[in-house]
Amino acid sequence: MKKRFNPIKDKSSEIIEYLMSSPDMPDDEGLRFKLRLSIEEAVENVVRYAYEGGIGWLEAGTSLDHDRLSLTIELRDAGVPFNPLAQDDPDITLGAQEREIGGLGIFLCKKMMDSINYRYENGNNVLTMTKQIKN
């Protein structure tokens, strides 16, 4: 299941709901919470920062592995090249006022998902997040 949204300005909710409504999504509410939080953080990053003024496209999709044991979410855009995984994790031992701004969203994604990968290919940012959905 894959769809291209263009332009993405003011479409965060629509993109998130599209991904969450995928037939690939598990029924387990605990897993759905983790997936939704990760999707929200990743989509918001693209919508806010990939393009000047949000004028650009985002291709979003889900897929299950061949055994239907894990779900992969892929976000692809042609915005400014940016690897969110190259950023240092925030120091969560510090109070909110003491921490630098930014990085908490991708940190949460790393904690919620089993794997997150970034690559830049053919002029596109590609972020893939995978979560085991069955034991």
Averaged pLDDT score across all residues of the chain: 89
What ranges make up the beta strands (E) of 1-135?
Answer: 2-5, 58-64, 70-77, 115-121, 124-132
Q: Indicate the Cα dihedral angle 81, 82, 86, 89, nearest 10°.
A: 180
Superfamily of domain 2-132: Histidine kinase-like ATPase, C-terminal domain (3.30.565.10)
Q: How confident is the model at residue 85 (pLDDT cuts 50, 70, 90)?
A: confident
pLDDT of residue 135: 64
Provide the pLDDT for residue 68.
85
CB 25 within 8 Å of CB 18: no
**pLDDT tens sequence across 16-71:** 999 999 999 999 999 999 999 999 999 999 998 999 887 999 999 999 998 989 99
Backbone angles phi, psi at 124, to 5 degrees: -125, 140
